[in-house]
Amino acid sequence: MERLRILIADDHEVVRQGIVGMLTSRRDWEVCGQASDGREAIKMIEKLKPDLVILDITMPGLNGIDTARQVRKMMPDIKILIYSMHYAERLVQEVFQAGADGYVLKTDAGKHLVQAIETIMSGQRFVSSKVSEVIFEGFLRGSSGTGGAGEPAQGAEERLSARERETVQLLAEGKSNKEVAAILGISPKTAETHRATIMRKLGLSTFSDLVRYAVRNGIIEP
């Protein structure tokens, strides 16, 4: 029987090592790679071609949701498991729209991570019980994507492009337009244009508003 090859992406080494310890207890599972951010994860996935990738949502440079989107385009058959401390309804929707196969809360990882992987590899989806409650409550409300008090419904804002989402994260992390341009391989003028477009689409007026948006949507840590 072939070994299940797993790649883990999390910017906290202690967390990664804890997950490795849980997974390597299975003889038929192998952690083939560890990445500290989304961009590194994508490069390693292209090279190592794992069967399953486990992504933390909040990573510097490129968050787990946008990493999942790129991975899904690059390797349609790969299994993707997202884990996070956050479970707002809108965030959960974003995770599965990005192509994830499962969503595990970090607080449940010790009990449910192995079960989640087994479920996903059998061709089913997996969500932590608390995440299931959030999804069900949204269904009962007939919600179109509200993420809790004070958060706009999905669709109330114009949808950001993949490049604009990357720009939001980099700006919210404190990068200048010039630094954003260098990281994304675009001109500073284009970076400025992205920033202006983002502010218009999201209906934001200040940089603080942008940071709050990024925190509220799990793009960066508070």
Mean pLDDT of 71-98: 87
Task: Name the helix (H) or strand (E) containing 141.
Answer: helix 129-141
Q: For the range 23-27, what are the long-range contacts, defined as Cβ-Cβ under 8 Å and sequence gap of 24 or more?
A: 23/113, 23/114, 23/117, 26/114
Model's pTM, two decimal places?
Answer: 0.74
173: domain CATH number is: 1.10.10.10
Convert the pLDDT of each residue in 159-184 to its tens digit: 788 888 889 999 998 999 999 999 99
Q: What is the tally of structural domains in the chain? A: 2
- What is the domain extent for residue 38? 4-141
Predicted local confidence at residue 151, as pLDDT: 44
Same domain, 45 and 123: yes
For a pLDDT cut of 70, what percent of the chain falls above it?
86
Max avg pLDDT among 31-40, 83-92, 104-113, 165-174 = 31-40
Note whether 27 and 79 are same-domain residues: yes
The rounded distance, in Å, linking the Cα atoms of 221 and 12 is 13
Is residue 107 included in any domain, yes or no? yes
